[in-house]
Amino acid sequence: MSRVGVFFASRPPDPRGPHRDHLEFCRATGAELVCLEPKVPPALKRRLRLRHPLIGMWMAWSIFRVRRRYDVLITDSEHVGLPLALMLRVSRSRCRHVLVVHLVSTPLKAFFIRYLAGRGVSCYVYHFPSAEPVLERLGVPPERRRFVPYMVDSEFWSPVDVPQKRQICAVGLEYRDYPTLLEAVRGVDVAVDIAAGSPWSQKADGTHRAELPPNVRVGRRDYAELRQLYAESLFTVVPLLENEMQAGITTIVESMAMGRPVVVSRTRGQVGTVRDSHNGLEVPPGDVAALRRAIHWLLDHPEECRRMGAEGRHTIESGMTLEHFVERMSAVVATVSDPGPRLASGVTPEAAR
């Protein structure tokens, strides 16, 4: 049986909240979860972001030093996984390395993948279909890339029988275009509750210093309060700035799991999960008028709103639960542990839709 180490470049998950993907994978498979927290002086820690290159190099070196304890290493961010890949390649390590990527098109990351990482990455796992052609252009062969759809704890985030208010919500920070949302809902007869917070993002709150319409409230929520917010809202709005990441995906799958449809900006990175007129509505990024029309349409068509919410829950149950994630990641680990066969197990982007 392979010894698997999962290295999580973030703070430990909140045990009071939903189950997390890699923690659930470790519980199900017996893999070891290691949370990497930089041990640097407080004064320096305030000046260095978690994703600063020096922090990433330190985390990569920490993993490299213990590589012989494991047969397979799993890393969940490029700023740690790519430096680690270079170390594994240069040292000619026999340890297998699965790297979960989130944004691979920046010049530095593309250079690393094309010229430096090499066999230091046994398999690239990605959650969004638009990463597939980028990895292909960077020379990553099909047998070393695998699409594993994003996931959600469908038991924690599940439909709750509570009275709904004439209210919509927006949640999260990463690449959020809250100024566009504020203008879209100005004067609309609906309460808007914005939970502008995230345990993963260091982005600034887009509502900061904005003139809030009288129907808008902004605040932070813990997991229990956030679940109540989804349940009481008619639908969720995810306004995004144009970007190539799958920004907003956590909010999208949480809302869908709660049986609430999603209005989302269709960016280059955020495609495939929300299917227009099926489990939500898509609008162009930054388009105030289009976002206002989508919000009005769902408010004016409550039956369609409920139908899309039910379809969203079905989307989660049919392929985006934690159980699906564990099954697919286990297949990836089994394949890299025995590199003879191609990565034939798993799913294609089309099959997961």
pLDDT at position 17 over 50: yes
Nearest-CA neighbor of 252 among 220, 234, 230, 268?
Answer: 230
Q: What is the mean pLDDT of residues 191-208?
A: 72
Kindly tell me the sign of the dihedral angle through the C-alpha atoms of 267, 272, 276, 281: negative
Amino acid identity at 326: V
Please name every residue paired with 98 in a beta bridge, in sequence order, or none if there are none: 74, 123
Nearest-CA neighbor of 241 among 281, 291, 199?
Answer: 291
Whole-angstrom distance, CA of residue 29 vs CA of residue 42: 36
3-state secondary structure of 152: strand
**In the prediction, which pLDDT does 259 show?**
97
pLDDT at position 198 over 70: no
Q: What are phi and psi of 35, to 5 degrees?
A: -90, 120
The CATH number fitting domain 167-317, selected from 3.40.50.2000, 1.10.540.10, 3.40.50.300, 3.40.50.720? 3.40.50.2000
Buried b (16+ CB within 10 A) or exposed e, 88-115: bbeeebebbbbbbbbbbbeeebeebbee
**In the prediction, which pLDDT does 58 show?**
86
Name the pairing type of β-strands 191-195 and 216-219.
parallel
Give tens-digit pLDDT for 116-168.
999 999 999 999 888 999 999 999 999 999 999 999 999 999 999 999 999 99
Give tens-digit pLDDT for 74-120.
999 899 999 999 999 999 999 999 999 998 989 999 999 999 999 99
The CATH number fitting domain 4-151+321-337, selected from 3.30.43.10, 3.40.50.2000, 3.40.30.10, 1.10.10.10? 3.40.50.2000
> In terms of pLDDT, which residue wins out, 271 or 89?
89
| H-run or E-run covering 339 | none
pTM of the complete model? 0.89
| H-run or E-run covering 187 | none
Length of the chain: 353
**In the prediction, which pLDDT does 7 show?**
94
pLDDT tier at 8 (50, 70, 90 boundaries)? confident
DSSP letter (8 states) at residue 124: E
- The residue ranges of every structural domain in the chain are 4-151+321-337, 167-317
DSSP string covering 188-241: -SSEEEEE---SS--PPPTTTT----TTEEEE---HHHHHHHHHHSS-EEE-B-
**In the prediction, which pLDDT does 105 show?**
87
